[in-house]
Structure 1
Amino acid sequence: MIMKYTNDQIRRQDRLLDISLATNILKNGEYGVLSMQNDNGGGYGIPISYVWDGEMAIYIHCAPKGHKLRCLQNCNQVSFCIVGRTEVIPNKFTTKYESVILHCTAHVGLPAEERMKALELILDKYSPDDKIVGMKYAEKSFHRTEIIRLDILEFSGKCKANDKILQSAQSHTKIK
């Protein structure tokens, strides 16, 4: 399976984000919103920290029981939205933004080795200066931690950018 970048469904084709900028947001975004189907057929979306494995999966961690896991048990097809930089322009009644939306299949009950590797990736992203202490904490709390892997089926990117957002995005892409 290959992660597919497609902007075919975006109505405003003049606001497409190129794949390098979209990948940068995927890699460096602070959090995303995981959207699932609720037990009763309604929607359920939650903001959550994540890490991308650099290939075709996103990992998130949570408690081993809860509403999120019940939703995924009923339907493992999810959407994950990451918002990059934004800038509200009050006098123009608009907002400059960049975002990436991913369509994924969620998996739980992963092997212990994959779960620990995911926790290590999360520490690399969010606590790189405290990784040794973080790994000890992860090992201690491993029994009460679930990892969800989101296999990315396809993703798209969109922006309404100004020069400041574009320059910042381009400099991040060059540096990383």
Structure 2
Amino acid sequence: MKRWAGCRRKRYTARCWRNRRSRRRSKITVPNSLSVRRAERAIAGADDVFETLLRCDALSLALCGEDAPYVVPVNFGAERKDGKIVLYLHCADGGKKLELLKKDPRASICAFRQFGVYGADSPCSYTADYESVCGSGRAEIVTDEPSRLHALRVLLSHYTDRVFENESFEPRALAHTVIIRIVLDAVSGKRRIVRK
């Protein structure tokens, strides 16, 4: 290999290492929050974390699988009760998700929005603008009918910007719909938005 190519590679790797090392310096922990390594990107305040979650369209649900973690994208609705974020998910009345939840109710979530990827000449100069919310809690299946209907209304309101108060649901569809509630015991949010 030519000598100049090796020098360029050393400069490139040194710059990448410096960038990576400087990112490790800051770490914050907020009460009832997951740890966020980059303090300047942490979303401070429960209200702001909740509003960020509501702006997300999809959520990844991670469950404890038999041999490996099981992650699945889901639609969701969210509300706050007693200072905690409560998520509502719906699914069919069978499948791997329900099997795993019945064996182990521990669950983690991640919701995010990405606004764009930006960079210059160097591979290390690329970055993305985003906002995200991660959390963990215990999942439970909602069985009583008023709570099931409330959960479906919260979920529908999240995607339609409508408030469903007195509308009735088709009984046949409800009979095959399972509602999952997850109360997040720990939650954190991160945001990086440079370009508008």
TM-score range, shorter chain: 0.7 to 0.9
What is the CA RMSD across the aligned residues, in angstroms? 2.3
Stretch of structure 1 that moved more, 143-152 or 109-118: 109-118
Deviation per residue, 1:66-105 (Å, 9 max, x gap): 1100111121111111103432114332212111101111
Contact 1:120–1:135 (8 Å) recurs in 2: no
Deviation at 1:136, TM superposition (A): 4.2
- Is 1:141 aligned with 2:173? yes
Give the 5 Å matches for 1:27-176.
27-38=54-65, 40-55=66-81, 56-91=85-120, 92-128=125-161, 131=164, 135-164=167-196
**TM-score, structure 1 as length reference:** 0.79
Larger Rg computed on CA atoms = 2
**TM-score, structure 2 as length reference:** 0.71
* Higher normalized helix content (fraction of residues): 1
SS of 2:67's equivalent?
Answer: coil
What letter matches 2:96 in structure 1? H
1:25 is aligned, of 35, 40, 52, to: 52
CA distance, structure 2, for counterparts of residue 135 and residue 85 of structure 1: 34
Contact 1:25–1:84 (8 Å) recurs in 2: no
Higher RCO (CA 8 Å, separation ≥ 6 residues): 1
Identity of aligned residues (%): 23
